[in-house]
Amino acid sequence: MGMTMTQKILASHAGLSEVKPGDLIMADLDLVLGNDITAPVAIDVFDKIKAAAVFDKHKVALVPDHFAPNKDIKAAEQCKKMRMFAGEHEITNYFEIGQMGVEHALLPEKGLVVAGNLVIGADSHTCTYGALGAFSTGVGSTDMAAGMATGKAWFKVPAALKFVLTGKMNQYVSGKDVILHIIGMIGVDGALYKSMEFVGAGIANLTMDDRFTIANMAIEAGAKNGIFPVDDRTIDYIESHSQKEYTVYAADEDAEYEQVIEIDLSTVKPTVAFPHLPENTRTTDEITEPVYIDQVVIGSCTNGRLSDFSKAAKIFKGHQVAKGVRTLIIPATQKIYLQCMELGYFKTFVEAGAIISAPTCGPCLGGHMGILAAGERCVATTNRNFVGRMGHVDSEVYLANPEVAAASAILGRIADPTEL
């Protein structure tokens, strides 16, 4: 029996010639990631098991990004614990104020993940790195602690779903719409503990940022991971960001998939996920009654990259944010922040009536920098819209791409960019 991309990476890191769905394996890790919510818990476990040192000081990454810059005393203590641990164990990949960023945008930018890697992170959106042809998945803090100590983790080999992408996306459609379209089709548990493997000629029409966004939200369909084949665009990205050696794995022709789903990208429309699940999707032309909003957030590990702000800036140019709509722009890394500033995007955003934040996860998880009050609605380029996700349990979050979010900020209601 042939193997999928994911199965080949897992087999290689487990020292096995073959694995099949359901196998339990112990595999070597290329990188272990933690943030300011999950790493402090992992550090406590690490100390409890009396681990002497991390398995490799270059293969652990710690990124305070959820409540940083510190929003309160508890957040400050969490980050202090990480900082002290990083210093004690001489961890080279510790990124805080001045070097900080939203972890899943920062690590690829820093070249810490490349094709063929096996990565675990104590954050569910660690699956982002599948865009680079890596196997990456979220784990709990206890598994993170064990990974830091031993450089190994156990896995149950997942079965796979194949998504065959064809065609080319239309204007105002991006990777965010593709993944929302898919989640709307299969549901939030449609890929439960499975690998979502994307193939097809349409992938050539997806930018790396599109792929990062799609892989990032694989977890919103319940997937263990999402993964893309490694093509010339992937290699160009890797070689321009990293000095690490990479390995290209390709699925066997006779690899088995539980389901094959074909998607013509030209049929995907700007899509919005209504409260309170990412599967509750509607295309903008299906929204017949006005949905008035109080806030817009453009940023996060899903849509906080330079291309996202480029698209948003084009929409905002020459327009004003609607009265009463708080609009937050949050670049995902310091590098993206500088690029936005140098390209004049910040001037456009501020003149339109938006504010600029330092890189942070902030409002995405209801942390800080944009908490919602009871009854308030937010259009966000983030990845989750669960009950109370961005604040009060009686608030609402609507997920959308950056252009829809910008148009919505201008019109004060969920809007399609063609309405401007």
Q: If pLDDT is split at 50, 70 and 90, which confidence band does 301 have?
A: very high
The confidence score (pLDDT) of residue 98 equals: 87
**Which residue numbers belong to the known binding site for [4Fe-4S] cluster?**
301, 361, 364
pLDDT tens digits for range 216-240: 999 999 999 999 999 999 999 999 9
For the CA atoms of 227, 306, 95, 215, the dihedral, rounded to the nearest 10 degrees, stands at -10
pLDDT tens digits for range 311-322: 999 999 999 999
The CATH code that applies to domain 5-264 is 3.30.499.10
Q: What is the CA radius of gyration of the chain?
A: 20
Q: Is 0.85 topped by the overall pTM?
A: yes
153: alpha, beta or left? (left if phi > 0; alpha if psi -120 to 50): beta
> What is the token pair recorded at 85?
């641990």
The confidence score (pLDDT) of residue 97 equals: 85
Return the closest-CA partner of residue 64 out of 46, 76, 47.
76
In our burial notation (b when 16+ CB lie closer than 10 A, e otherwise), range 299-334 reads bbbbbbbbbbbebbbebbeebebbeebbbbbbbbbb
Percent of the chain clearing pLDDT 90 (strictly above): 98
Whether 257 shows a pLDDT value over 80: the answer reads: yes
Whether 1 shows a pLDDT value over 80: the answer reads: no
Element spanning 272, H or E: strand 271-273
Percent of the chain clearing pLDDT 70 (strictly above): 100
Q: How far is CA 405 from CA 288, 302, 408, in A?
A: 17, 13, 5
Structure letter (DSSP) for residue 104:
H
Q: If pLDDT is split at 50, 70 and 90, which confidence band does 94 have?
A: very high
Q: What's the rounded mean pLDDT across residues 175-180?
A: 98
How far apart are the C-alpha atoms of 239 and 208, rounded to whole Å?
Answer: 13
pLDDT tens digits for range 103-159: 999 999 999 999 999 999 999 999 999 999 999 999 999 999 999 999 999 999 999
Quickly name the fold that domain 271-419 has.
Answer: Aconitase; domain 3 (3.30.499)
Name the phi and psi angles at 5, rounded to 5: -55, -50
Note whether 5-264 and 271-419 share their fold.
Answer: yes
140 close to 272: Cβ distance less than 8 angstroms = no
pLDDT tens digits for range 374-385: 999 999 999 999
The confidence score (pLDDT) of residue 248 equals: 97
**Which residue numbers belong to the known binding site?**
301, 361, 364
The confidence score (pLDDT) of residue 255 equals: 96
Q: What's the rounded mean pLDDT across residues 83-98?
A: 95
- Domain chopping of the chain, boundaries: 5-264, 271-419
39 close to 122: Cβ distance less than 8 angstroms = yes
How far apart are the C-alpha atoms of 345 and 324, rounded to whole Å?
Answer: 22
Measured on CA atoms in the order 155, 157, 158, 163, is the torsion positive or negative? positive
Return the closest-CA partner of residue 135 out of 256, 240, 9.
9
- Paired with 2 in beta bridges are 255
